Chain A
Amino acid sequence: MSNHSTLIKDGRILDPQSGIDKVTNLAIMKGKIIGIGEAIPSNFKPKKTIDAKDLWVLPGIVDLSAYLREPGQENKTRIPFETYSAASAGITRICCMPEADSPIDSGATVKLIKSKAKQAGFARVSVIGALTQNLAGEQLSHMGSLKYVGCVGLSQGHESIKDLATLRKAMEYAATYELPLFLHPFEHSLMAQGGMHEGALSTRLGLPPIPVAAETAAIAQTLTLVEQTHTPVHFCRLSTADSVTMLTQAKQSGLPVTADVAVHQLFLTEMDVSEYNPLCHTIPPLRSERDRDALREAVSNGVIDAICSDHQPHEIDAKLAPFEETSPGISGFETLLPLALRLVEEKLISLSQAISYLTHQPAKLVNLKAGSLETGHSADFSLFDPNNLWQLDVSKLLSEGKNTPFSGWSFQGKTVETFIKGKSVFSL
């Protein structure tokens, strides 16, 4: 057999996509999975054997949303740092989002990002391109070219779109190229810079209020366009209970819509903002306990399609200012899997559900053959030690963005080694 063959021996292989959960072996050859357990060809002679006793073998995580900051914001971080951070947390595929300061609206930019990621050799990067040129919300981006260079979807990021007519045209043009749309449901006239969830606490703290309607109004408008154009839309980062209700109804009536939630939204609420904690300044804002519970319920009953990190690394100064003036976002790669597994510990979802939300379900949303250990798939996976009890120490984060509100949280289980195309790219 080939030189590039590895056997992962005696690990607990968890692959919800194929319904596998048992202690057995995984065989890899030439960067691909060639079998699990009895399905391993009898003539397979591995060059290398890795003992995975007492470890879990997990499919590589596909993270639907991250801001890698390049090109344009190299003061925040660089692609190699962030893709390494991702790999250290079992993430093997990142979907990079466009943003105002790094609008990914040309084929050249897509190629640049992909080549930097490839050169770094850690987590793979897929690119979600800009829906409009420069994300300005007016002129459609060169979607055909973006598709040609391998964009897996399009998004308007956190930016506004001129009007509903432009949105409708963008939806239709994107559908021409079968590019999935990842839309943040923001009604910008109801948003407020530096704001927080509208309620008693925003009143008390005197922070600009962002009402629930800032999200639901946008969802309602988009849903009517989906109904009319039959264009599939994925709603990014839901934050309110009412959005969940709307999504549930839309799905029941057969509309082609999907949605995700950022994992921090399942744990934090507006209360975490009190005392003006800039680390809890997020977009969309952290909402009420009722909203958080509704999002959890939506995860539990499968109305939500994926859980992502919404990784937004910042330089220290971005959070060193009065709340309103800080940049929103959480550095989230390294807490994605740990937090998702907490949902299992808290008995909200099963282990297999948690893994599905992070792997094959998001992969499907970006039409990638990933997030599974099925034969023929690229050998992107991680080894996870379920008995490693650790505490999050911000100074030990591998991401350049140290902006996490989860400092000091204890987690059960840690990624010990991550493989991409069968090659180890991180080990603890």
Chain B
Amino acid sequence: MQLNADGKLKHFLTIEGLPPLLLEEILNRADQFVSLPGKAQVQAPLLRGKTVMNLFFENSTRTRTTFELAAKRLSADLLNLDIRNSSATKGESLLDTIRNLEAMGCDMFVVRHSSSGAAHFIARYCAPHISVINAGDGKHAHPTQAMLDMLTIRQHKGDFPPLKVAIVGDIKHSRVARSLIHALTTLCCGEIRVISPKTLMPESIEQMGVNVYTDIEKGVVDVDVVIMLRLQHERMNSALLPSVREYYARYGLTEERLELAKPDAIVMHPGPVNRGVEIDSRVADGPQSVIMQQVTNGVAVRMAVMSMVLGSQAMVDGS
């Protein structure tokens, strides 16, 4: 569904099932879009005359802003729709919203939605000339986040096969974790570990090709990359955890725990960071943290993906 007849990216909904070469193509292309600090931003008019609509049915600052920047640097026309405050709250169905926006003329939807599978749904029912990029759907996938993390890892560590990567936190409710696991397995990462208390670990996660740890002090031993996930506050009210304090005491990434990893291990976080909940400020701001670089890479990866999906459209139009 994501690939067109020529094997090009038509929609970007999930990393699962995409060939490794395609992921590498995204990373290589993103490399060209990475702006160096202090240098002029990379601009490329690849999307001139195209209209991108940011459809955010759920809160987001970072993801939405980086998509916005990416679209602008590619010279696309961009519309930000904060659907939470518009028609959806007046009872309009998702499909009607999509049909109306299509009628206004657009080429790409960037979608964030609280239901798993929402991006698939829109891709299935939207007009054939439109591409859909999943900017996070429920607990299912957040593929551009995973790709910007892959870019960050590659910039620091090179190839994936020798690497050990630990993902720590609320795996159960995390779309980022699922996309990371698919990306890392596709790129043949040496070992993927997931670390969390059992209440935050989904059923049969090991079948996705990961090793499961409940003790962070065992799980981060000797890893090259530690990816911390955000702990959402509402989890505290649903009997998943007793308190923030206990979570930080047992699972928070402190300097001591980070010392168990490889000396040159990098620390990542998709943001927004809860300091003192999942991560100590000294680690978040420390020398091994690459959190800000992830944000920078976010723009480059989103430029890469947007230009690739609209590139596949150009080929369809031309043929």
Rounded to whole angstroms, the CA-CA distance of A199 and B137 in the bound complex is 19
B120 touches A275 (CB 8 A): yes
In the assembled complex, 16 residue pairs joining A and B whose CB atoms fall closer than 8 Å, in A order, are A199-B203, A199-B204, A200-B203, A203-B203, A205-B140, A206-B137, A207-B116, A207-B138, A207-B139, A209-B202, A275-B120, A321-B115, A322-B117, A322-B118, A322-B121, A324-B138
A323 touches B203 (CB 8 A): no
Which residues in A have their C-beta under 8 angstroms from that of B139?
Answer: 206-207
Q: A321-B94, A321-B121, A322-B121 are in contact. Are A203 and B116 (CB under 8 A)?
A: no
A329 CB, min distance to chain B CBs, angstroms? 18
B113 CB, min distance to chain A CBs, angstroms? 7
Which residues in A have their C-beta under 8 angstroms from that of B202?
Answer: 202-203, 209
B141 touches A321 (CB 8 A): no
B203 touches A198 (CB 8 A): yes
B230 at the binding interface (Cβ < 8 Å): no
B16 at the binding interface (Cβ < 8 Å): yes
What is the chain B residue whose CB lies nearest that of A321? B94
Which residues in A have their C-beta under 8 angstroms from that of B141?
Answer: 206
B260 at the binding interface (Cβ < 8 Å): no
Residues 127-142 of B, flagged 1 when their CB comes within 8 A of A and 0 if not, give 0000000000111110
B192 CB, min distance to chain A CBs, angstroms? 14
Rounded to whole angstroms, the CA-CA distance of A65 and B125 in the bound complex is 33
Residues 322-338 of A, flagged 1 when their CB comes within 8 A of B and 0 if not, give 11110000000000000
Given contacts A205-B117, A207-B138, A276-B120, 4 further A-B contacts (CB under 8 A): A199-B204, A200-B208, A203-B207, A325-B115
Which residues in B have their C-beta under 8 angstroms from that of A198?
Answer: 203
A200 touches B117 (CB 8 A): no
Q: A276-B120, A321-B121 are in contact. Are A204 and B93 (CB under 8 A)?
A: no
Query: Which residues of chain B from 80 to 139 have a CB within 8 Å of any chain A CB?
Result: 93-95, 113, 115-118, 120-121, 125, 137-139
Which residues in B have their C-beta under 8 angstroms from that of A207?
Answer: 116-117, 138-140
A322 touches B94 (CB 8 A): yes
B205 at the binding interface (Cβ < 8 Å): yes
A interface residues (Cβ-Cβ under 8 A, vs B): 194, 198-200, 202-207, 209, 211, 275-276, 317, 320-325
B28 CB, min distance to chain A CBs, angstroms? 28
Rounded to whole angstroms, the CA-CA distance of A320 and B121 in the bound complex is 8
Rounded to whole angstroms, the CA-CA distance of A320 and B93 in the bound complex is 9
What is the chain A residue whose CB lies nearest that of B201? A203
Rounded to whole angstroms, the CA-CA distance of A320 and B1 in the bound complex is 18
B302 at the binding interface (Cβ < 8 Å): no
Q: A200-B203, A203-B205, A204-B178 are in contact. Are A324 and B93 (CB under 8 A)?
A: no
B204 touches A276 (CB 8 A): no
A204 touches B208 (CB 8 A): yes
B175 at the binding interface (Cβ < 8 Å): yes
B175 touches A206 (CB 8 A): yes
Which residues in B have their C-beta under 8 angstroms from that of A202?
Answer: 202-203
Which residues in A have their C-beta under 8 angstroms from that of B207?
Answer: 200, 203
What is the chain A residue whose CB lies nearest that of B178? A206
From A203, A204, A205, A320, contact of B95 by CB (8 A): A320
Rounded to whole angstroms, the CA-CA distance of A245 and B299 in the bound complex is 55
Which residues in A have their C-beta under 8 angstroms from that of B203?
Answer: 198-200, 202-203, 209, 211
Query: Which residues of chain B from 1 to 39 have a CB within 8 Å of any chain A CB?
Result: 1, 16
Rounded to whole angstroms, the CA-CA distance of A207 and B125 in the bound complex is 20
A360 CB, min distance to chain B CBs, angstroms? 41
Rounded to whole angstroms, the CA-CA distance of A155 and B264 in the bound complex is 63
From A199, A200, A206, A320, contact of B140 by CB (8 A): A206
B94 touches A204 (CB 8 A): no
A321 touches B116 (CB 8 A): no
A276 touches B116 (CB 8 A): yes
Which residues in B have their C-beta under 8 angstroms from that of A275?
Answer: 1, 120
Of B94, B116, B139, B175, which is in contact with the most chain A CB atoms at under 10 Å from its CB?
A: B116
Rounded to whole angstroms, the CA-CA distance of A305 and B145 in the bound complex is 51
From B115, B175, B204, contact of A200 by CB (8 A): B204
Of A198, A275, A322, which is in contact with the most chain B CB atoms at under 10 Å from its CB?
A: A322
B204 touches A324 (CB 8 A): no
What is the chain A residue whose CB lies nearest that of B173? A206
B117 touches A323 (CB 8 A): yes
B93 touches A321 (CB 8 A): yes
B16 touches A204 (CB 8 A): yes
Q: A200-B204, A206-B175 are in contact. Are A276 and B117 (CB under 8 A)?
A: yes
What is the chain A residue whose CB lies nearest that of B172? A203
B205 touches A324 (CB 8 A): no
Rounded to whole angstroms, the CA-CA distance of A199 and B125 in the bound complex is 28
Which residues in A have their C-beta under 8 angstroms from that of B205?
Answer: 203
Of A198, A200, A202, A324, which is in contact with the most chain B CB atoms at under 10 Å from its CB?
A: A324
Which residues in A have their C-beta under 8 angstroms from that of B121?
Answer: 276, 321-323
What is the chain B residue whose CB lies nearest that of A201? B204
Rounded to whole angstroms, the CA-CA distance of A325 and B114 in the bound complex is 10
From A200, A205, A211, A320, contact of B116 by CB (8 A): A205
Residues 308-319 of B, flagged 1 when their CB comes within 8 A of A and 0 if not, give 000000000000
Rounded to whole angstroms, the CA-CA distance of A361 and B117 in the bound complex is 41
A323 touches B95 (CB 8 A): no
B180 CB, min distance to chain A CBs, angstroms? 13
Rounded to whole angstroms, the CA-CA distance of A194 and B93 in the bound complex is 17
